[in-house]
Amino acid sequence: MTDVQAPRSAPKSEQTRTLILETALRLFQERGYDKTTMRAIAKEAGVSVGNAYYYFDSKASLITGFYDRMSHEHATVTGERLQGAEDFGERLEIAVMAWVDCAKPYHEFAAQFFSTAADPDSPLSPFSDESYPARAEVIQIFRDVLEGSQVGPKLDSELAELLPDLLWLYLMGVVLYWVFDHTEDTERTRAFVRKCAPLVARAVRLSRFRLVRPLVRDAVELMQEFVIPKVRSGVTK
């Protein structure tokens, strides 16, 4: 099921599918999402427009592969960089900054594409059932971030269980910031991430104190009831 380059064993149809997908992603990156037409994709891939629609529901759903690729690379890069870092804030910064780095080549393309992804009914919404695998993989990254630090075991168990999902939401906030960021090399987003990480870490550590703990518990409960179901299994639930 891995779709890198069509293996020799793959049937013809799978080859065509892959060819169309690769061509599309290449053109998206070269010309941007809007300027890449379905006709151009078909022509470049040497097939008909109708054929592209035989394999993919829509132009937007050609992005599915992009999601998977992106979360894979994010997980890999983060895994490498986390080696040796033990401070929670530091680890968090590494994970989020890794995303910014991985997403760099796609910034222009992603900004154009963002509005499509924001459609609640689109399979490409970050909350959709279809994007669940990619979402789960990124949440796992944050689980690693937490478990590899000293702060993890000291937390309230319910919060510790919830935190990876919350950090994924935090990443979505960063993504939103990044999409609107037009500075060179998205330097402003990077500065934002560098400043945010230690603050988040401090907030998490504060959550253990007797003064704030009751509030945190209630907030955790609220999240578990109202927000997490949407993150865990898509908006339809």
Partner DNA sequence: CGCACTCCTTGAACGCGTTCAAAAAGCCTG
Partner DNA sequence: CAGGCTTTTTGAACGCGTTCAAGGAGTGCG
* Site residues (vs a second copy, CB under 8 A): 111, 114-122, 127, 177, 179-180, 182, 188, 191-192, 195-196, 199, 202-203, 206, 209, 211-212, 215, 218-219, 222, 225-226, 230, 235
Stretch that binds DNA, among 57-65, 158-166, 200-208, 216-224 (CB under 7 A): 57-65
Contact mark string toward DNA, 58..97, x via CB under 7 A: xxx-------------------------------------
Residue from 6, 38, 85, 228 in contact with DNA (CB under 7 A):
38
Nearer to DNA, 53 or 177 (CB): 53
Nearest to 132 by CA among 55, 60, 33, 236: 236
Residue 212: contacted member of a second copy, DNA, none (CB under 5 to 8 Å, by partner type): a second copy
Residue 7: contacted member of a second copy, DNA, none (CB under 5 to 8 Å, by partner type): none
DSSP 54-77: HH-SSSGGGGHHHHHHHHHHHHHH
What does the buried/exposed string (b/e) look like for 133-147 if buried means 16 or more CB atoms within 10 Å of the residue's CB? ebbebbbebbbbbbe
120 touches DNA (CB under 7 A): no
- Dist. CA 122–CA 221, nearest whole Å: 29
115 touches DNA (CB under 7 A): no
Nearer to a second copy, 45 or 223 (CB): 223
12 touches DNA (CB under 7 A): yes
- Dist. CA 196–CA 193, nearest whole Å: 5
Judge contact between 178 and 100, C-beta under 8 A: yes
- Dist. CA 145–CA 86, nearest whole Å: 9
227 touches DNA (CB under 7 A): no
Q: Report how far apart, in Å, the C-alpha atoms of 61 and of each of 37, 55, 108, 142 are.
A: 14, 10, 18, 27
Residue 119: contacted member of DNA, a second copy, none (CB under 5 to 8 Å, by partner type): a second copy
- Dist. CA 24–CA 29, nearest whole Å: 9
Note the residues at the interface with DNA (CB under 7 A): 1, 11-13, 16, 36-39, 47-51, 53-54, 57-60
